Structure 1
Amino acid sequence: MTTREQLLASTFVDLADTLVADFDVIDFLHTLATRSVELLDADAAGIMLADPQGDLHVMASSAEEARLLELYELQNNEGPCLDCFRSGRPVAQDDLSAMRTVWPTFTQRLQQLGYRSAQALPMRLRDETIGALNLFRTRPGLLGEADLGIGQAMADVATVGLMQERAIATRELLATQLQTALTSRVQLEQAKGMLAQRTGLPMGQAFQVMRDYARSHNRRLSDVAAQIVDGSIGGDQLGKGPRTRPGTPPGP
């Protein structure tokens, strides 16, 4: 078995294993985003999920640029992820010219952030779509059929896992869990920004430091974020002390 096959097998196990104590939705979705980049011919990935009212929210991304691009999609109500969620079907355009025709504002922002193509896969079970997986490339062109099949399979397994974890796909519990995840996501962004400011780390690296700490201490990511916000966990405990200005001697 090749390394890629091993990672693929491990990914499907991770995405299916949701019936565990202290299941962490945010960490689960970040696993889907990062593994999509590792396994597919994509340079970044992002995930949007719908709240109980059917409004989409950015829940996870493999890179800060992808997160900003997805937020831009929502702010301008334009882009492949939104079309994918609304239709429940994969969405893609062959080249930048076609993308500019369908999503002019989104495509301009896409290029500004260094990407050249984007497509979206639905997170859907039967006739219910709960979100979408966005895949971005720094090169023109779409993913090949094999990668698309793997990407859709991962999105499908993740969807089943999410809905299974919410008590055999009952809509009421799904809505409650998604709302909890949205609240956690807001606090996570606060913590990421605070940690980046305190340590001088880039936003993406600040998140990774939080995630590594949560995993190594067997903690929920949302709990670690809450403690960073209230100050009970500092950069020194995460292995990243505060930045100092050039020429400034270290403190006592």
Structure 2
Amino acid sequence: MVAMSTTREQRLASTFVSLADTLVADFDVLDFLALLAERAVELLDVSAAGVILSDQRGGWRPAAGSSERAELIGVFDSQTTHGPSMDCVRTGVTVASTNLVADAARWPRFVETAVSAGFRAVCSVPMRLRDEVIGALTLLNTQSVPIDAPSVELGQALADIATIGILQQRAAHRDAVIYEQLQVTLHHRTVIEQAKGVLAELGGLQMHEAYTVLRGYARAHGLRMSDVARDVAKGVRDPHELLSSPTNIT
């Protein structure tokens, strides 16, 4: 038990260092959120994780996940109107289910999509800015087991880090500035989807593989992923250059 605790503490320390290294001037919010989701999976021993954000127009959209697999993206897309994440952002408290099949009547569309993708349990924690919730970090398990209290608390801590990262220490600014930044972040996510499509079609790749190529190229060249995606989507940057470049994502 001591060894497991020590290992987890080491992984947690490494996570905070990685996230802190990412929080530089003009950092890539979407790359940061993807890193956060990936580390949440590792630290909390869950099967998958993802972040949804408010579009500040009354809607909610997926921003990042621990994987770009089509079925996982579908799970997060399915709960942009109803689901545990929606209940979480509306109430501002953690929402969980250890048996999605039994909760089918509660979230019919989400449960159908999540169960089809192999998931059996879910836990969503809010991303808060003062008293306002701007999004949620959702954790998924393939087994019908609860996420223990310490892990939920750690998940909440990671969600809080995500909120700070998104706002880039602009909490003191006017809400209009905050809302504008969230809008830009979600627009960048749309552009990344377009670039993934270009790379996937040209390279005969799965969407997750295309995302890995895009992200790896951006990191290897010290560029923001959203900027590279924009260039690829607009035809300014040759996608063959990305496909032939080695990717080193850590």
- Scaled to the shorter chain, the TM-score interval is 0.7 to 0.9
**Would you say 1:117 and 2:121 are equivalent positions?**
yes
What is aligned with 1:24?
28
Q: Residues 167 and 132 from structure 1, CA distance in 2 versus in 1: closer, same or farther, beyond 3 angstroms?
A: closer
- Name whichever of 61-70 and 196-205 sits farther off: 61-70
What is aligned with 1:248?
none
Contact 1:84 1:91 in 2 (8 A): yes
Q: Residues 120 and 169 from structure 1, CA distance in 2 versus in 1: closer, same or farther, beyond 3 angstroms?
A: farther
Contact 2:127 2:136 in 1 (8 A): yes
**Would you say 1:78 and 2:82 are equivalent positions?**
yes
Contact 2:214 2:228 in 1 (8 A): yes
Counterpart Cα distance in 1 of 2:167 and 2:226: 20
Counterpart Cα distance in 2 of 1:140 and 1:176: 39
Q: By how many angstroms is 1:232 displaced?
A: 3.7
Contact 1:163 1:170 in 2 (8 A): no
**Would you say 1:193 and 2:193 are equivalent positions?**
no
**Paired letter, 1:72:** S
Q: TM-score, normalised by structure 2?
A: 0.87
Instruction: Please list, as runs of the form range in 1=range in 2, the aligned pairs for 1:44-83 lying within 5 A after superposition.
Output: 44-63=48-67, 64=69, 65-74=71-80, 77-83=81-87
Gaps in structure 1 of 5+ consecutive residues: 242-252
**Would you say 1:5 and 2:12 are equivalent positions?**
no
What is aligned with 1:247?
none
Counterpart Cα distance in 1 of 2:205 and 2:53: 28
Counterpart Cα distance in 2 of 1:55 and 1:142: 29
Q: Residues 19 and 170 from structure 1, CA distance in 2 versus in 1: closer, same or farther, beyond 3 angstroms?
A: farther
> How many percent identity over aligned positions?
46
The structure whose Rg is larger is 1
Q: TM-score, normalised by structure 1?
A: 0.87
Counterpart Cα distance in 2 of 1:195 and 1:239: 7
Match 1:89 to one of 93, 105, 114: 93
Contact 1:19 1:165 in 2 (8 A): no
**Paired letter, 2:164:** V
What is aligned with 1:126?
130
Equivalenced residue count is: 239
Contact 2:101 2:115 in 1 (8 A): no
Contact 1:46 1:60 in 2 (8 A): yes
**Paired letter, 2:216:** D
Gaps in structure 2 of 5+ consecutive residues: 246-250
1:115 is paired with a residue of what secondary structure?
Answer: coil
Please give the per-residue CA displacement for 1:7-60, whole angstroms capped at 9, x wherever unaligned: 312322444567622221111111111111111121111111112223211111
**Paired letter, 1:139:** Q
Aligned-pair RMSD on alpha carbons? 2.1
